[in-house]
Amino acid sequence: MESVAQIKQLLADADGEELASLIERFSDDGRAGVRAAVATACRRARRAQCERERLGRLYAFEQELVRARGGGAAVGLDEVGRGPLAGPLAVGAVVLDPSAPPVGRLDDSKRLSPSVREAVAREVRARCSACAVIYVEPHEIDEAGITASLRRAFAEAVASIEDAGVQVDVILLDGNPLGFDGREVNVVKGDAKCASIAAASVIAKTERDHLMERLDVEHPGYGFADNKGYGSAAHIQTIKERGLSTVHRATFCTKLLS
């Protein structure tokens, strides 16, 4: 007979069907330590089942949208960095492979911890049919404005996917209509409802965060590694004291410098 410690380890290491089998196997064990371990494993199994059901809804929602537009391949688009004072706008684009869905907590990137985002991003890149991240630099945002910059970045992201050899039939876009392409389908809160938009959100967020960490080294003192260019109190104070770096969006900082 396995010891309590061995059973705890078996349950902790297992998942899926193996975990269910172990829970059933040890459910009649009368030892207090085993009962506690089985109860913990049951809670973990229930959470995993809820997550599978949530992911199923994300994929089903997306498939219904695509079917309504005649079917075919869908690219999900999402932007990160619309509002920061510094750093580029980033747009992620992902075409998921229905036969190899990413494993992990695919969700709106803002709802994931950095470590979970990184794991999900690796999964998406490994399993998707195609993905891309497009940047619009701060000086380009200053020149064109944020709305025009978004349109341009979304169009370039779709073009990048098509250049990779994927025929795009439907464009699933988080948020309100931009009217940049006739294939556009807008989904409010799409990064929490639609699988490929969530994947695009994660890809764009992780890539932009890494870029801001590199910019922190190139432009020390503004705290880019921590604030990612957003207007934290410390960041705003540094701007007032030191002025703008070359990666700040001057039009976003006008009031701070006046």
Decide: 98 and 60 in contact? Cβ < 8 Å.
no
Distance, CA of 192 to CA of 8 (rounded, Å): 35
Which of 79-106 are b and which e, b meaning 16 or more Cβ less than 10 Å from the residue's Cβ?
bbbeebbbbbbbbbbbbbeeeebbebbb
Q: Which of 190, 206, 222 is the last residue of a domain?
A: 206
Mean pLDDT of the region 21-29: 88
Quick one: 77 and 202 in the same domain?
A: yes
Mean pLDDT of the region 213-237: 97
What pLDDT band is residue 15 in, cutting at 50, 70 and 90?
confident
Segment 66-109, tens digit of pLDDT: 999 998 999 999 999 999 999 999 999 999 987 777 767 777 78
Any idea which residue has 């410390």 for tokens? 234
Would 230 be classed as within a structural domain?
A: no
Would 254 be classed as within a structural domain?
A: no
Quick one: 44 and 73 in the same domain?
A: no
Mean pLDDT of the region 198-215: 96
26: domain range? 4-57
Quick one: 46 and 75 in the same domain?
A: no
Quick one: 105 and 200 in the same domain?
A: yes
Return the pLDDT at 247: 97
Quick one: 30 and 138 in the same domain?
A: no
Would 196 be classed as within a structural domain?
A: yes
% of the chain beyond a pLDDT of 90: 60
Return the pLDDT at 49: 84
Task: Indicate the average pLDDT of the chain.
Answer: 91
Torsions phi, psi for 241 (to 5 deg) = -85, -40
pTM of the prediction? 0.84
What pLDDT band is residue 134 in, cutting at 50, 70 and 90?
very high
Distance, CA of 129 to CA of 112 (rounded, Å): 23
The total of other beta-carbon atoms located within 10 Å of residue 163's CB is 11
Return the pLDDT at 2: 83
Distance, CA of 155 to CA of 134 (rounded, Å): 10
Return the pLDDT at 229: 97
Cα separation of the two ends of the chain: 75
Mean pLDDT of the region 51-63: 86
Quick one: 98 and 193 in the same domain?
A: yes
Residue 15's contacts (CB-CB under 8 Å, 6 or more residues apart) are: 48
Quick one: 75 and 169 in the same domain?
A: yes
Quick one: 47 and 124 in the same domain?
A: no
Quick one: 32 and 96 in the same domain?
A: no
